[in-house]
C-alpha cells in the first residue's frame, strides 16, 4: 500500500501545481479519447487484473465548471465494453477537476463498477487539450491511470 500512496500524492501534487486556463464554460462540449491501464491493489482478486483500457467520452457543461459525462470504455483481457455515466467538477477557474463515474458492463451487469477520480486538462490550443486522469475503482479495488486528447467546442 505504501508503494502506491507515494506516487499517488506525487500525481496529485503535479495536477494541482499545473492549474491553468480551463475550457469549462456553460454550454460547451468536450469530447475525449483516452487510453491507460488498471492496477489492482490485491493480486488475483479483480477481473481488471493486467488490463488496458481505451475510452471515448463526451462532456456537456451544464454550468460553469460542472459537466455531465457519457461514453464508453473498452477493457482488454475479458473484452468488456462498459457504458460510462458521471460528472466532472472544476473547482475554481483552473483545469484541475474531480470526477465520478458509474461503469455499466454492457454484456454482464454483475461486472459493474463505480469510481472517483481527479484529473487535469493541459490546453494545447483553443480547441485541443491533453488530459490525465487517475481514478479509484471501488468495486474492483483498483487504480486506473488514463491519458489522452480532447476537443472542446
Q: Is the pLDDT higher at 8 or at 96?
A: 96
**Rounded CA gap, 88 and 94, in Å?**
13
Query: What pLDDT, on the 0 to 100 scale, is given for residue 42?
Result: 72
pLDDT digits (tens, 9 = 90+) for 29-77: 989 999 999 888 776 555 555 678 999 999 999 998 999 999 999 988 6
pLDDT digits (tens, 9 = 90+) for 75-110: 886 768 899 999 999 998 778 999 999 999 888 777
Rounded to a whole number, what is the distance in angstroms from the first to the last CA of the chain?
A: 41
Query: What pLDDT, on the 0 to 100 scale, is given for residue 8?
Result: 53
**Rounded CA gap, 132 and 123, in Å?**
12
DSSP secondary structure letter of residue 11: H
CA separation, residue 95 to residues 20, 89, 108 (Å): 5, 10, 35
Three-state DSSP state, 14: helix
pLDDT digits (tens, 9 = 90+) for 111-124: 788 999 999 999 99
Map grid coordinates 490546453 to a residue.
123
Bridge-based pairing state of the strands 96-105 and 80-89: antiparallel
pTM for the full predicted model: 0.76
Torsion angle (degrees, nearest 10) of CA 47, 49, 52, 53: 40
Amino acid at each position: 500500500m505504501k508503494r502506491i500512496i507515494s506516487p499517488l500524492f506525487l500525481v496529485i501534487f503535479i495536477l494541482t501545481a499545473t492549474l491553468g486556463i480551463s475550457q469549462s464554460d456553460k454550454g460547451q462540449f468536450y469530447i475525449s479519447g483516452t487510453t491507460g491501464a488498471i492496477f489492482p491493489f490485491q493480486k488475483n482478486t479483480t477481473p481488471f487484473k493486467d488490463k488496458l483500457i481505451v475510452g471515448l467520452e463526451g462532456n456537456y457543461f451544464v454550468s460553469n465548471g460542472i459537466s455531465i459525462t457519457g461514453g464508453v470504455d473498452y477493457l482488454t483481457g475479458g473484452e468488456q465494453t462498459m457504458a460510462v455515466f458521471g460528472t466532472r467538477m472544476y473547482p475554481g477557474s483552473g483545469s484541475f477537476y474531480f470526477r465520478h463515474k458509474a461503469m455499466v458492463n454492457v454484456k454482464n451487469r454483475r461486472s459493474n463498477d463505480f469510481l472517483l477520480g481527479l484529473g487535469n486538462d493541459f490546453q494545447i490550443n483553443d480547441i485541443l487539450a491533453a488530459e490525465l486522469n487517475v481514478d479509484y475503482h471501488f468495486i474492483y479495488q483498483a487504480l486506473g491511470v488514463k491519458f489522452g486528447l480532447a476537443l472542446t467546442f
